[in-house]
Amino acid sequence: MTDPSIPPALGPVLEWLDLAGIAVFALSGALAAAERKQTLVTFAFFATITGVGGGTIRDLLIGAPVFWVHENAIILICLGAAVAAWLLPARLIKSNALLWCDAAGLAAYGSFGAAKSLAFGLAPLPAFVMGVLTGCAGGIIRDVLAGEPSILMRPELYVTAVALSSALLVGLVIAGTPGGVAGLVAACAGFVLRGGAIARGWSLPVYRR
């Protein structure tokens, strides 16, 4: 149940980060459908497009086989997330569950996207950009389909959090840190930063001129 395009050098920890990112992003997509009281079919569509969106764009750009088209497991994870969201109590859907799932997804996926890009021979800066794209694209697609203003247009920390995950992964790997350790540290750092933005309203200064 792993991405067949992942080079073996990345190791099992980063593979699990990949699956975790897909699962929580898919759940965030399904929760977006739940907030709008959509059908189970829409839940499944939102979960799938959010779960695989960022990774698909990344793989197309770095020349890797698109990670979900040669096996069943990834789609089953997304469909399972849709069913889980359908069965969740309404009080959880009305809470910040979507934001926290999105935070976990962007942190895990941002670090994994950068690691996979490095493994496919990208230079550090392009690998960093691919990590940011991997972490952000699924959420952007979800917001556009839901008719919501993109999270990118809000001052709260979002891209900054996934950029931290991606940059830390690249920096730690270049410094010789094992990929699994680097992935966990980078993902945790990005999640903490995004969590602070959700819980305490951390944000960057906005243009006022």
What average pLDDT does the chain have?
88
DSSP, collapsed to helix, strand or coil, labels residue 203 as strand
pLDDT at 151 over 90: no
CB count in 10 Å sphere of residue 10: 21
pLDDT at residue number 150? 78
- 21, 39, 81, 110, 122 from 43: Cα distances, Å: 18, 6, 9, 24, 35
**pLDDT at residue 204, as a whole number:** 83
User: What residue has token string 């990345």?
Assistant: 10
Residue 86 has pLDDT above 80, yes or no: yes
| Distance between CA atoms of residues 41 and 79, nearest Å | 10
Report whether pLDDT(34) > 80: yes
Q: What is the mean pLDDT of residues 42-58?
A: 95
The Cα–Cα gap between 168 and 109 comes to: 13
Mean pLDDT calculated for residue range 1-18: 65
Residue 3 confidence (pLDDT) above 50: yes
- Using CA atoms, how far apart are residues 181 and 165, in angstroms rounded to an integer? 13
Q: What average pLDDT score do residues 160-172 get?
A: 95
**How confident is the model over 15-28, as pLDDT tens digits?**
888 888 899 899 98
80 pLDDT higher than 70: yes
Between 174 and 92, residue with greater pLDDT: 174
pLDDT band of residue 11 (cuts 50, 70, 90) is low
Question: Is the pLDDT reported for residue 1 higher than 50?
Answer: no
Among the ranges given (84-93, 99-108, 193-202), the one the predictor scored with the smallest mean pLDDT: 84-93
pLDDT exceeds 90 at position 152: no
